Amino acid sequence: MVQTAIPVDSIAKPPARAGELAGCAWITKLDKPFASSETGPLAGLSFAVKDNIDVAGIETTAGCLAFAYQPAEHATVVRKLLAAGARLAGKTNLDQFACGLNGTRSPYGAVPNAFNPLYISGGSSSGSAYVVATGQVDFSLGTDTAGSGRVPAGLNNIVGLKPSKGLISARGVVPAAQSVDCVSIFARTVGIATRVLQAAMGHDAADPYSRRRALATTPFARSFRFGVPSRLEFFGDALSEAAFGDAVARLRELGGTPVAVDYQPLADAATLLYESALVAERYTAIRAFFDRHEGEIIEPVRGIIAKGRAYSAADLYEAQTRLQALGQQAAVMWDTIDVLLVPTAPTHYTIAQMQADPVALNRNLGAYTNFVNLLDYAAISVPSAIRPDGLPFGITLVGPCGSDWQLAELGQRYHHATGLMQGATCKPLPAAQPLAALCPHPNPPPRGEGGKRVRLAVVGAHLSGMPLNGQLTERGATLVGATQTASNYRFFALPGTVPPKPGLLRVAPGTGARIALEIWDMPLEHYGSFVALIPAPLGIGTLELADGSSAQGFLCEAQATADARDISHLGGWRAYIASLQQQQQ
């Protein structure tokens, strides 16, 4: 992709009064959202990125002015989202060097809770959560090492999807602890979060910790077992304790059976993150800068990172062996449960409380998050309740590595059962949509290896996130990218089809339009069973694409379009569906 210079606002200054705290969410906000593609599975969605993630032409500060640099290239994940049609709105505030779970450790000021500005937003991805919760963007990117992609979600009534490690490339991300870092996704609905994950994931050989992951695509059974920690600590917060009890009851109503699990191995693993030689990885991440500019780093971040200097290589091996042993002990729970349920955060703190006792209270916030990446689990935080004091409470579903889609499917069912609004907006949740099963193999073998494959163009109900997309993914099809047809097609909304489907009709040159589509790559052995599902008047033919190439794709019989609505001017099926939703509002 051609790199494009992006105009930016001047860097925001920390606010002087509590009432101005909302301004602390952004570090850089673009005058006009930027995208590299006008079509694709994320077309029409806007997003922001945490300011430890590179955007070409915009300074990356990681919350430290002395560290700031201007990258020449986008981080891999940013490049992929722009290519998928999402529009970038800017960069957001964070706990300095992503070191913290509270959102107050920044020279740009503390980011407030979206529901009460006296309370913390959670961190370190504080700004990314705030701009989603308040409806300023549709989704955002955070990072998650110890819970930074989940705690802010739970405290702001939004979804925080923490994928399996290595599923999304971290190239172009300033590391916190590189071996356990994950790029995370914030959204107001699970449906949006999974669409973003579908577009963002994929192996990246330039990222040392990127992995090819085979993802489970069979949902948890309607009768499932969920683990509940044998001991629960809410640090005196009776409202959160009651909200968690309600969450257990709701999961029962959804078909779950609670099973008590021994939480001690998980708690002990969490302690290792900061109280052992594992903290040396945080020092290693910025070692050269830290040794020259230690005085430029704010407390308590400076003190936490400095601890990493004191450990030897022998200490590190000892800590890693201890972690492996705890992982073996913890793994026993998966023999009796399908998913683990924990509070996302056990309590809320005011900004003043956090600043008065920044280390102990921050540790409390990570009571149910710190172990997840260390033990190589996937997790999703979803809203659960608004407490009587008006503050949100969220729960987190945790599963083994590769359970990302399963967690999202259950998370969406749970979220919609709450009846909550979207974030801090007054908008109700949209109707739950069938989630497109994440590709079980996000990086298909090159053509000519691992069996023959067919390139298939889809224009309607089979697009990512649409009702029939599962017919592709269950056959091992993988998304290649988004493009358009050549300009000699007309596009129609076919009446009486369930689910609603379009018809694409080839017409004479000069009388048509370009229509948005996606290209999918399907194993040839499954292509026949897919074609057998296609009902008349639709069929498969050869489509001419905008770049002059061709692909197999959906075409419609001409007589079926006689009484159909011509929607060619909208340029694609997503735009048509969006227009219908606007009419209903």
Q: Give the residue numbers annotated as catalytic, written as ranges.
A: 50, 124, 148
Residue 164 phi, psi (nearest 5): -55, 145
Both structure tokens of 318:
């000892």
| CA dihedral for 11, 80, 184, 388, sign (positive or negative) | positive
By the 10 Å C-beta count (0-12 exposed, 13-18 middle, 19+ buried), 151 is classed as buried
CA distance 289 to 334: 42
| 9, 28 Cβ separation under 8 angstroms | yes
Q: How many CB atoms lie within 10 A of CB 401?
A: 19
Please give the order of strands across the beta sheet that includes 565-566.
Answer: 501-506, 489-494, 565-566
| 371, 269 Cβ separation under 8 angstroms | yes
| Pairing, β 489-494 against β 550-556 | unpaired
| 161, 193 Cβ separation under 8 angstroms | yes
CA distance 563 to 576: 17
Whole-Å CA distances, 214 to 166, 377, 448: 12, 14, 20
In this structure, which long-range contacts are made by residues 251-254, counting pairs with CB atoms below 8 Å and at least 24 apart in sequence?
A: 251/226, 251/341, 251/414, 253/417, 254/410, 254/413, 254/414, 254/417
Both structure tokens of 496:
């009486």
**Burial track 220-240 (b if 16+ CB lie within 10 A, e otherwise):** beeebebbbbeebbbeebebb
Beta carbons within 8 Å of 532's beta carbon, 6+ residues apart = none
Both structure tokens of 481:
């990218």
Both structure tokens of 316:
């590190």
CA distance 11 to 98: 19
CA distance 67 to 69: 7
Whole-Å CA distances, 8 to 32, 38, 174, 369: 9, 21, 20, 34
| 162, 182 Cβ separation under 8 angstroms | yes
| 180, 373 Cβ separation under 8 angstroms | yes
Q: Residue by residue, what is the 3-state secondary structure of 132-166?
A: HHCCCCCEEEEEECCCCCCHHHHHHCCEEEECCCC
Whole-Å CA distances, 367 to 36, 235, 374: 40, 10, 14
CA distance 513 to 304: 58
Beta carbons within 8 Å of 137's beta carbon, 6+ residues apart = 46, 47, 48, 89, 131
Q: Residue by residue, what is the 3-state secondary structure of 473-512?
A: HCCCCEEEEEEEECCCEEEEEECCCCCCEEEEEECCCCCC
